[in-house]
Chains A and B, each alone.
Chain A
């Protein structure tokens, strides 16, 4: 096979940081090339260099595409050659239709006037290729994230793509959608389209990749050819983190005590559509020192359940019983829930967890201002001391606690969120996707913190879409599907297959 893209000795520096340091990669024509690395390793920067987001001249090194040296000045230069990048944050306009989005900036015109019939019929063709059956006139905002991802890909196809770059395309997709997307990539491969896949998920890479390049600290550290040898996850992980992580989950000996928190017959309805029941008769319990996982597909109602419990921040017509230490409690507002000893670290830390423009210390004290004031007047020095204490204890990597959280990496942001809740001294912690979007090394640290909390006899509920993670850290797993708890299994019986079987068998149709 020929080489379609070759990047030679790419070095890119930002003020104070060397983001890429002499990186060379080769992508063969017609392959699926996976690019893996921790967050901040430089994968996205590298792809921005290829696609012209960082124009020629702002980096050192050469780009050869289809054998010729290229000097892209902007994205349209690279797009005209068929290099299309799909970013992690989708670039679709929610209030425009699928067809309008696909041809945005590339409108199908006749004499300067948009030819709608042609636009729509071409869109239909493209949608068929990616396996979407939605009418082209559907508003993008009305379809799910998984389908939006497919619309992005259809948009790429409309531009006669030769090299498709996908930046963590499955980050917000559920397993089924992810599989469909990966199958699509395999089909593109048969049609001669080359793909570069940036991903954190090693199982996906194993499924589709022909070649894997591992990037670490701005340098390409290894290149694995999957046709030569089967890919070992441990090998990739070891290359990513630069050390051998023989065990991705820290060891722990559970010390499980009394039941602390129970939910009985919990029912919740959709906040806008009062007749749509989102959570149906959920009952669960957590013990002191126990880590309980909640597994389920995206949209199975896990976050909705957690938020409806935590201060009724989701849904309406909530009914059911919540008991702490055997006594029924009112969790009607966030303040009440916090006072009862509940904490909920949200799924999306940037939108729901942090004030990004505020410092680490201000974020840590936010849920317990009473703890750093006399009730009304703040004690700034105490606040600093508290934050400093957490910074050291749970290893928030930052020179001091007065850095804005917006400048921290995902893993460190998550540690700030955890610190915020630890400072409220909760008995029950609900952690919603505690390691989403953070790299392997930081994940290990988060698991350590979770284990430490369990050792302190706190009751912990972990919601996660990554099944290996749930299997790795939980003592017991509840399986949720379509708003109901469809099963429960102790760690000993749990496996990905068992969980998936439970979900599939519970389908109410």
Chain B
């Protein structure tokens, strides 16, 4: 999972010098390196438990809903806003799904679709005030956070509701079916992983060729090879590990699809470009004929939809909707986006950064839990990492400016 993102950044009809290139792309590589270092560190500190197939599977399951919401949050933040309500919306939709399926026996596909629609509506309702009435998103979504926290309690009557039909649970706890169910090894997952890696490298190569044909400055060959080798190795290694357990979890496939779709939308479409322009300078965007209000509205609606999806994934994983579901998740999601390099002022940040940011948080949570670090110190350390990442950003920017 990388990066049409690094495409055209500093062309000068040649290949950039390695030192210079590294400096200008410090943030992009920095975060990837940070993830690798943190994983290595915890692999060592947990005596190798971190990368055990079963733990790796857990790691993805535990962080799927954060990553899913980070995709939407990135766009909201790029647009220059924030959404504090996502944790509560996640909880509310989980509760709604539970009540529909358990109390009213509504079938899971209908529930799934209705919940997505309700989530979109919630996002749209909040986006409406932000976009068309220019009420600060902080206030609107803070209100939303309280409202949906309350509605969750009301819906669940203060109690947990579950369990869910098996099919619905599969959304989160299911695995890709193996087409060759003979051995202990999950061949399909491995094949899929290989195909994904190949495809990514193919896309990267094609982008590079296009850049070369236009005459942009190219990433130094060594970097390009190293980056692609790292991607292939990482994907193959992880799918190999997963294949020795139960294979790729459904939710991993779902995430991979969403990540590619959102990377494409933000980096390669006019819609994405306009969102960056709005975050960069809303007035200039408006005076250039960009419908800033509608796009702001849509990013919030999209955020609501993803929060709903995450809500169902989360509920399916617990096999239960609880009144406390989603508590403070918004903070993890927002932290992931900022660790991933997005700017508080809007206008910058990348999907892949937000995903890596979420993974960094996830690996730290997971690793520290395995080590038996108390929740108290976990919070302290996560807070410091967030601060360090942003300080690093600001420091770099000042040096560059």
Contact = CB atoms under 8 A, between A and B. Distances in A.
A338 B289 CA distance: 7
Given A366-B290, A378-B270, A380-B8, A355 B214 contact: no
Given A358-B280, A402-B11, A420 B288 contact: yes
Given A353-B287, A367-B288, A384-B216, A402 B277 contact: no
B interface, how many residues as a size bin?
Answer: 20 to 34
A94 B140 CA distance: 27
B108 interface: no
Given A355-B284, A356-B280, A400 B11 contact: yes
Contact of A384 (B11, B274, B285): B11
Interface string A354-392: 111110001001110110010111101100110000000
A376 B271 contact: yes
Interface in A307-359: 310-311, 313, 333-335, 337-338, 344, 346, 351-358
B288 A376 contact: no
Interface string A276-319: 00000000000000000000000000000000001101000000
Given A355-B347, A375-B270, A335 B291 contact: yes
Contact of A358 (B9, B270, B277): B277
Nearest to A15: B399
B257 interface: no
B156 to A, nearest CB: 41
B268 interface: yes
Contact of A313 (B7, B11, B268, B286): B286
Nearest to B347: A357
A369 B8 contact: no
Contacts of A346: 284, 287
Contact of B274 (A310, A338, A369, A385): A369
B240 interface: no
Contacts of B290: 334, 366
Contacts of B12: 399-400
A352 B269 contact: no
A233 to B, nearest CB: 35
A354 B282 CA distance: 10
B384 to A, nearest CB: 28
Contacts of A362: 273, 276-277
Contacts of B277: 355, 358, 362, 366
Nearest to B274: A369
A10 B8 CA distance: 41
Interface string B1-28: 0000001111110000000000000000
A354 B284 contact: yes
A357 B284 contact: no
Contact of A402 (B8, B289, B291): B8
Contact of B285 (A311, A355, A356, A402): A355
A387 to B, nearest CB: 11
Contacts of B10: 400, 402
A400 B215 CA distance: 11
A352 B214 contact: no
Nearest to B13: A400
Contact of A378 (B269, B284, B287, B347): B269
A311 B289 contact: yes
A404 to B, nearest CB: 10
Contacts of A400: 10-12
B280 to A, nearest CB: 4
B371 to A, nearest CB: 40
Contacts of B210: 380-381
A82 to B, nearest CB: 33
A22 B11 CA distance: 36
Given A335-B291, A354-B281, A373 B347 contact: no
Interface string B271-314: 10110110011011111111100000000000000000000000
Nearest to A372: B270
29 contacts: A333-B289, A333-B291, A334-B286, A334-B290, A335-B289, A335-B291, A338-B289, A346-B284, A351-B281, A352-B287, A355-B276, A355-B285, A355-B347, A357-B280, A366-B284, A366-B285, A366-B288, A369-B270, A369-B273, A369-B274, A375-B270, A377-B270, A378-B270, A378-B273, A380-B8, A385-B214, A399-B12, A402-B8, A402-B216
Given A337-B289, A367-B289, A381-B210, 8 more contacts: A311-B287, A333-B291, A335-B291, A344-B287, A355-B347, A358-B276, A358-B280, A373-B269
Interface of A: 310-311, 313, 333-335, 337-338, 344, 346, 351-358, 362, 365-367, 369-370, 373, 375-378, 380-381, 384-385, 399-400, 402, 420
Closest 9 CB pairs of A and B: A355-B280, A367-B288, A334-B289, A369-B270, A338-B289, A355-B281, A335-B289, A366-B288, A381-B214
